[in-house]
Amino acid sequence: MKLKPETLQRIADVIPHYPVKRSATLPLLHLVQEDQGYISSEAIEWIAAQLELQPINVYEVVTFYPMFRQHPIGRRHIKVCRTLSCALVGGYRTCEEFKQQFGTELGEVSPDGEVTVDFVECLASCGTAPVVMIDDALHEKVDVAKARALSDQIKAEAAARAPEPARA
C-alpha cells in the first residue's frame, strides 16, 4: 500500500481515539478511500493488519455501507438525492440531466473519465430540494437548468486542466 504521508499521519492520529482498535475501521476506510479513490482488496488486508483484525471483518463493512466502493470512479462524483422530498420537486429530472450531459449511466464512469453519477438516498437538505452533492460540496435547488450549469462548469474545469503528457 502506497499511501500519502499525510494519510498515514491521520491514520496514526485516529486509531488512539478508541479504546478498541476495531472502532477505527470506518475512519480508516474513509481515509484510504480519500487517498486511493476506492477500497482495493490490498487496502482491505492492509487495514485489517493495522487494526489486528481478519480481512473479512473489514470486507463485511465495505460491502455494507453505500459510501465505500471497490472500484475507481470518475474524477468528480455527482450524487443526486433520490428520496421523496427531492423527487417531489424534480430530483429525477435533475438526475436524468446529469446522465445526459456526460453521456453516462448510473454508477459508471463517464466516457471522458470525468464523472460518476449516482442516485443516492436522502442527503438531509430537504428544504432546499432538489439537492446534489458534487464531491464534498452540497448544491441546493438544482433544477434541470442548474444541473446544466453545474455540468458546464465541470466540463470547463476539465478543459482548463493541462492535458496529461502522452505516455510513450
Partner 1 sequence: MPAPAQHRIIFKHIDEPGYTRDLACYVRHGGYEMLKKSVGRKPEELIDEVKKSGLRGRGGAGFPCGVKWSLVDRKSGKPIYLVVNADESEPGTFKDRYIIHQDPHQLIEGIMISSYANNVKQAYIYIRGEFPEGARILEEAIAEARAANFVGPNILGTSYGCEIYVHRGAGAYICGEETGLIESLEGKRPYPRIKPPYFPAVLGLYQCPTIVNNVETLCHVKHIADIGGDAYARIGTPNNTGTRILCVSGHVQRPGYYEYEVGKITLGQLLYEVCGGPLPGRTFKAVIPGGSSAKILKFGERFKGKRKVGADLVEYDWGIEDVPMDFDSLGMIGTMGGSGGVIVMDDSVSMVEALANINEFYAHESCGQCTPCREGSLWMKRISGRMVHGQARVEDGALLKSVADQIAGRTICAFGEACAWPTQSFIAKFGDEFKGYAAAKAAGAAPAAAAAEAAPVLV
Residue 148: CB minimum distance to partner 1, A: 18
Selected from 50, 83, 101, 110, the binder of partner 1 by CB under 8 A is 83
Nearest CA-CA partner of 89 in 31, 28, 144 = 144
Q: Tell the smallest beta-carbon distance from residue 164 to partner 1 (Å).
A: 27
Select 84 or 106, whichever has its Cβ closest to partner 1: 84
Nearer to partner 1, 74 or 90 (CB): 90
- One-letter amino acid for residue 96 of the chain: E
Q: Map the chain to HEC letters.
A: CCCCHHHHHHHHHHHHHCCCHHHHHHHHHHHHHHHHCCCCHHHHHHHHHHCCCCHHHHHHHHHHCCCCCCCCCCCEEEEEECCHHHHHCCHHHHHHHHHHHHCCCCCCECCCCCEEEEEECCCCCHHHCCCEEECCEEECCCCHHHHHHHHHHHHHHHHHCCCCCCCC
Query: How many residues in the shown chain lie near partner 1 by CB under 8 A?
Result: 44
Out of 22, 49, 71, 152, the only residue in the binding site for partner 1 (CB under 8 A) is 22
Q: Is 52 in the site for partner 1 (CB under 8 A)?
A: no
Residue 51 interacts with partner 1 (CB under 8 A)? Answer: yes
Q: Which stretch binds partner 1 (CB under 8 A): 63-71, 101-109, 142-150, 153-161?
A: 63-71
- Contacts with partner 1 by CB under 8 A lie at 17, 19-20, 22-27, 29-30, 51, 57, 60-61, 64-68, 82-85, 87-90, 92-93, 120-129, 133, 136-138
